[in-house]
Structure 1
């Protein structure tokens, strides 16, 4: 006698508004796909139930389409989801998925290629970042950020540059959350502190800012510096961000690979694991985080 398959459950994914709309939408999207598979219903039949196309079902199940409560309710009926607790949690997630994304107040300043990262990083349990050229965006001062953004977009109006700076400044607020903030493990190339951005005063204040953040965010920020002696391990020519979430069974790791004219995202476990190994190796050969304050103090002295 064949074993009865256990129905998928969404109860393991909590309702956490601080994680942002995208995380709730993505978790619910995967759950709806699993419910459809469990019910043995094809995408065409599911689409007919809500008067939509198969491509709409595909977009819903990949977290790319807005979730309408009435449509979700009809799909749950068709998929045989009857448990009141399950349906109540799903209703809460649908509501949360409809809230504004973290970047939406700055929509004019948020590049389309960066929006998925901005939307998902508040839900991360751990963020690993490698930056070979600049101080990571989360950790920049306003003046440092303005100079960097203006250099990349020299023709943009001043008001748009200012909006980009405000967006960048708000990203670190997730590390200041009192309830389960993400932990940021940031690795920077040592040459970042030798590459002058703006005046020596800008560099001096930026390094002071890093020292202050290490003191303020001692439980949610870990900063390592990779010297030139790390050799090939540090010869990565572009920034990398790797997100790992509190609920990996609902939210797979997300990999962000920055490029000059855009970005590439990866979620396949094989690619995520490969870059995780690269980043782990880099963290292993970089100077230990315990040495970072003294290294920053030395860098500070060079800009006095």
Structure 2
């Protein structure tokens, strides 16, 4: 989808305002109620709902949480906000995004090809909302629920770059990661179904490394770029940091490591079969978790 660029009173801005007003009135809240949530005046909320002022993403998030919107309603609000084009992705999440992750986002959006090997979790670019939320809560133990929700939205909006022509994504995932529980069986089954769906998309390659093999101990990312002085780089991502690899010798070694993993993964059909086995497993876990 091509974003509708413009000021706060653009078509998308007015549509976003209309949606916010509809949600507020549907829940029986007043302008004063909404104003308290975003720490603003009632006149400001009124201008937001008329599309006369741009909506900051943090305000949008706070109002969506306050109104208790559904997943579908939230996706629609995020889409409208993205189309308004008032704030860059990094700017919208600036106060909850560590510096190393801002660099990753900028690099990913400029890349032509992203290859990632992940030994413990589903790669961030392929995570479902509930799976991402579970991981953020596990990693960001000192964050407020408000910040956790913003970080989840960042992960989901980061995935939108895959809707364009580039970058392409190749995800190599260790099979044991498919069985690592980060939440209830239903959540894990949903994540596996999502992986199976994207594994059939031409632009995204999902391959599974058999669990009988010994994987690399840390996730590795390799990015190539269409032009410029430096056409590739790699980085090793940790829970709260990332090491960038730009020296030729290290890049060569990292590329060889990824090629070794790539040569050992299942082919397309067998990878889908591995995902189907994981779905069956988590469906059984879900059934066992049901009361009675």
TM-score, with structure 1 as normaliser: 0.62
Asked which structure has the greater CA Rg, the reply is 1
Contact 1:255 1:265 in 2 (8 A): yes
Can you list the C-alpha shifts for 1:167-225, whole angstroms capped at 9, x where unaligned? Answer: 10012211111xx321111111111111111100100111111122234xx22100111
Segments of structure 2 that go 5 or more residues without pairing to the other structure are 4-85, 284-292
Q: How many residues align?
A: 200
Partner of 1:206: 191
Task: Give the whole-Å Cα distance in 2 for the aligned partners of 1:136 and 1:284.
Answer: 19
Aligned residues: CA RMSD: 2.0
Give the alignment of 1:177-192 within 5 angstroms: 177=164, 180-192=165-177
Partner of 1:61: none
Contact 1:125 1:183 in 2 (8 A): yes
C-alpha spacing 1:100/1:254, structure 2 compared with 1 (3 Å) = farther
C-alpha spacing 1:173/1:189, structure 2 compared with 1 (3 Å) = same
Can you list the C-alpha shifts for 1:111-166, whole angstroms capped at 9, x where unaligned? Answer: 21222111111121111101111000011111110010001112211110000001
Partner of 2:229: 250
Give the alignment of 1:104-119 within 5 angstroms: 104-119=91-106
Contact 2:118 2:219 in 1 (8 A): yes
1:230 aligns with 2:213: yes
Local SS of the residue matching 1:303: helix
C-alpha spacing 1:272/1:191, structure 2 compared with 1 (3 Å) = same
1:170 aligns with 2:157: yes
Task: Give the whole-Å Cα distance in 2 for the aligned partners of 1:101 and 1:242.
Answer: 24
Segments of structure 1 that go 5 or more residues without pairing to the other structure are 1-16, 19-98
Give the alignment of 1:130-149 within 5 angstroms: 130-149=117-136
What's the CA shift for 1:101? Answer: 5.4
Local SS of the residue matching 2:188: helix
Contact 1:109 1:167 in 2 (8 A): no
C-alpha spacing 1:261/1:166, structure 2 compared with 1 (3 Å) = closer
TM-score, with structure 2 as normaliser: 0.65
Contact 1:253 1:269 in 2 (8 A): no
1:120 aligns with 2:107: yes
